[in-house]
Structure 1
Amino acid sequence: MPAPFYRPALFALDPEAAHRLTIRMLSAWGKAGTPFAPSVTAAPVRIAGLDFPNPVGLAAGVDKDAEAIAGFLALGFGFVEVGTLTPRPQSGNPKPRLFRLVEDEGVVNRMGFNNGGIDAALPRIAAARRRHGLLGINVGANKDSENRIADYAAAVAKAAPLGDYVTINISSPNTPGLRDLQSQPALSELIAASSEARLVGGKRVPLFLKIAPDLDRGGLDIVARAAIDGGIDALIVSNTTISRPDTLRSANAREAGGLSGQPLAPLARQMLVAARAATGGSLPLISAGGIGSAEEAQARLDAGASLVQIYSALVFQGPGLAARIVRGLRR
């Protein structure tokens, strides 16, 4: 796919500055009512009691503070997941913390859940002009939290009344010790507390769990069993990886942080297949990691995913990617 004509201008900016500019532009477009939004043919999917107008979603980490929900949905996404939002604001890790791997069409980030806090985001979520599409709210714990399980429960309780679903993110590699929550007994305690917190007027808002691609098969089996037993409604497979394929060519490839984009695709596919086996098909799976075409999205759906999410491919292929993928899936 040819690079968007404006990519050189954006790539001349620091990656985080370019990201902020993109969010501001999409936020303004959303507030203006998203004129000239592309027409996207629907390919509806129903999971977890929710009707997704198409299977292509925006992964968490793009619109961290829920500033451009309407703008992203108008690009053709069937659902948008905002966040990760934490109970209290936090600045994240020191800059620079976002790196393009241009030669590899990948990204390394060590952002560290930088966000303005869930209380600041909720009014924007409530005010978002959503004409179509579903909204997920991805939540996490503060880096300096003394009780991370309590952090998740508090954030889920605040997100549940406004989100179509809530995701508990225990898979970021950029908050020290966070991935320990993928192990027992902390995992079952976390799921139980979050499941209780998602009740809104007696209704159970769907609760998704986002896991790391670096789990071994034993660890994945533990996560799958805890998710099934705890009433999780879907698994998002998966977040960024701390591993580095030998094929990477970019000078930024050895930067610390999570790797995403095209170089993550083989591992993401492998994790999807393993998660399908570990769950026995009893949980819907959402595949993320290295999806940048309709062909790759279809391959993930064929491998057992119900939905897919994209992020890093937008950096290299531009905002029209979601609509192209949806149209390709229909064909």
Structure 2
Amino acid sequence: MLYDLARTLMFKLDPELTHNLAIGALSLGAGLGLDRFCNREEFSEPVEIMGLRFPNPVGLAAGLDKNGEAVDGLAALGFGFIEVGTVTPRPQSGNPKPRLFRIPEHRAIINRMGFNNAGVDQLLVNLERARYKGILGINIGKNKTTANDRAHEDYLVCLRKVYERASYITVNISSPNTPGLRTLQFGESLNTLLDALKTEQARLTRVHGRYVPIAVKIAPDMSREEITLVAGSLKTYEMDAVIATNTTLSREGVEDSRHGGEEGGLSGEPVRGPSNTTIRQLAADLDGALPIIGVGGICEGFDAAEKLEAGASLVQLYSGLIYAGPRLVRDSIREIELLRNAKR
């Protein structure tokens, strides 16, 4: 009820302003030690994938805390893992405002942020201040001004810089808001990138004496044949996980909404179906070769359990959290627990 009241007030403000205020409030609350008073939902058995032990299978997706400013406050909501970013080698302001739009009647959001972030170096400074000792994913991307044929250089810069701090690293090649980025998901562009990442991962493992898994985040807008090709490349280069999915370019279901025609990626309830379809097809193509982290359209607890039934091992929340509030973390953990118990 408290969150419902707060949401009513927040929704009267500009969406990006509200987002920034929420990040600031979470950071301030953690700094004052208020995070210690939050109740965390217990999960009976940890989930082990990528060589990591997750205390529960419900995580925070990248995008909400791009610069790692509120990790402690977000962790207090009960997430089993936190993913920050997307971060790029150099700071960039992103696309012109306005660039974030709510579609409350469909529990959806359209954004065209454009990888706005303070740069990888500032992210690491912010993370040094955090007390959080749980599983931390760092999501990396390329700067808008970097040509696609040199994109791998940006990813390698970020990989090297975050390697020592991250529990796992996510390679974002599926945001629709950086021109040409999604072409990196296919063919020789994808293979070149994955080969460079795995080669550097092996070198960094020797340097640091520690293996940090790499996940690849893909879009929900691929054809059946494209998913099969991507799955083949992920297996060939022995990637550690795949995150399915990012936002969609489709406007199915929101065509008549006030902001339905805005450019950018659509997230929230309308992407649940395309995301689940992608997860099912990936699960069939991968056949257990690497785990799937499901994200997209989780607005109720049973949506999270549905992703596990589709083939995911873990889930991540973002847009649904804006509409449902912190209870969504607890409800998702409970529904997944019920699913697990029912299968025993």
Place the TM-score, normalised by the shorter chain, in its bin: over 0.9
1:94 aligns to 2:96 (yes or no): yes
**Distance in 1, Cα, partners of 2:227 & 2:335:** 32
Match of 2:262 among 237, 255, 260: 255
Residue 174 of structure 2 is aligned to residue 171 of structure 1: yes
Structure 1 stretches of 4+ with a deviation exceeding 3 A read 246-249
> What is the rounded CA distance, in whole Å, between the counterparts of 2:229 and 2:40 in structure 1?
42
What's 2:249 paired with?
Answer: 242
Q: 1:101 & 1:76 partners in 2: Cα distance?
A: 26
Partner of 1:265: 272
**Cα deviation digits, residues 115-171 of structure 1 (max 9, x gap):** 00001110221331115x310000000000142110001101111110000000000
Equivalent position amino acid for 2:90 in 1: R
The answer as to 2:152 corresponding to 1:149 is: yes
What residue in structure 1 maps to residue 38 of structure 2? 37
- Alignment map for 1:112-191 (pairs within 5 Å): 112-131=114-133, 133-146=134-147, 147-191=150-194
CA shift at 1:196, angstroms? 2.8
Instruction: Identify the residue that residue 342 of structure 2 maps to in structure 1.
Output: none
**Residue 36 of structure 1, CA deviation:** 1.1
- Given the alignment, which residue of 48, 51, 62 partners 1:49? 51
Greater helix proportion: 2
Shift of residue 31, structure 1, vs aligned partner: 2.1
Given candidates 182, 194, 197, the residue that maps to 2:197 is: 194
Deviations 1:6-64 (Å, cap 9, x if unpaired)?
11110011000000000001111222331311132024110010000000010000001
- Classify the secondary structure of the residue corresponding to 2:251: coil
Q: 1:85 to 1:247 in 2, by over 3 A?
A: closer
Deviation at 1:320, TM superposition (A): 3.0
- Deviation per residue, 1:200-229 (Å, 9 max, x gap): 424321000000111112211121111111
* SS of the residue 1:141 aligns to: coil
Q: Does 1:24 align with 2:39?
A: no
Deviates more, 1:234-243 or 1:36-45: 36-45
Which residue does 1:328 correspond to in 2?
335
The separation in 2 between residues aligned to 1:124 and 1:143, in whole angstroms, is: 23
Q: State the SS of the aligned residue for 1:142.
A: coil
CA distance in 2 between partners of 1:80 and 1:150 (Å) = 26
Gaps of 5+ in 1: none
Secondary structure of the corresponding residue to residue 4 of structure 2: coil
Distance 1:246 1:75, change over 3 A: closer
My pick for the range that moved more, 198-207 or 217-226, is 198-207
2-structure distance, mates of 1:264, 1:145: 29
Tell me how far apart the structure 2 counterparts of residues 26 and 194 of structure 1 sit (CA, whole Å).
Answer: 34
- Distance in 2 separating the partners of 1:6 and 1:278: 43
* Residues 77-111 of structure 1, C-alpha deviations (whole Å, 9 max, x = no match): 00010000000000000000000001111000000
Query: Match for residue 230 of structure 1?
Result: 237
Q: Is the 8 A contact 1:181 1:187 kept in 2?
A: yes
Please say if residues 273 and 303 of structure 1, whose CA atoms lie closer than 8 Å, have aligned partners that are also in contact.
yes
Kindly report the root-mean-square deviation, in angstroms, between the aligned alpha carbons of the 2 structures.
1.6
Name the CA distance, whole Å, in 1 between partners of 2:253 and 2:334.
34
State the shift of 1:232 in Å: 0.7
The alpha carbon displacement at 1:250 in A equals: 2.1
Return the letter of the residue paired with 2:307: R
State TM-score, norm by structure 2.
0.92
Q: What is the rounded CA distance, in whole Å, between the counterparts of 2:93 and 2:172 in structure 1?
A: 18
What is residue 284 of structure 1 aligned with on the other side?
Answer: 291
Aligned length: 330
Tell me which amino acid in the other structure corresponds to 1:16.
Answer: E
C-alpha separation in 2, matches of 1:9 and 1:77:
25
Residue aligning to 2:10: 10
Contact 1:170 1:178 in 2 (8 A): yes
- SS of the residue corresponding to residue 5 of structure 1 reads helix
Deviation at 1:181, TM superposition (A): 0.5
* SS of 1:80 mapped into structure 2: strand
Q: Is the 8 A contact 1:3 1:316 kept in 2?
A: no
Give, in whole Å, the separation in 2 of the partners of 1:63 and 1:6: 20
Higher relative contact order structure (alpha carbons within 8 Å, sequence separation ≥ 6): 1
Secondary structure of 2:37's partner? coil
CA distance in structure 2 between the aligned counterparts of 1:238 and 1:246, rounded to whole angstroms: 18
Letter paired with 2:117: N
Moved more, 109-118 or 36-45: 36-45
Q: State the Cα distance separating 1:247 from its structure 2 match.
A: 5.4
Distance 1:248 1:36, change over 3 A: farther
State the 1:173 CA deviation.
Answer: 0.3
Whether contact under 8 Å (1:139, 1:156) holds in the other structure is yes
Asked if 1 retains the 8 angstrom alpha-carbon contact of 2:254 and 2:260, the reply is no
Retained in 2: the 8 A contact 1:38–1:323?
no
Report if aligned partners of 1:2, 1:317 keep a CA contact under 8 Å in 2: no
Specify every segment of 5 or more residues in structure 2 that has no aligned partner in the other structure, as ranges: 339-344
Amino acid at match of 2:159: V
Partner of 1:303: 310
Of the three residues 224, 228, 249, the one matched with 1:217 is 224
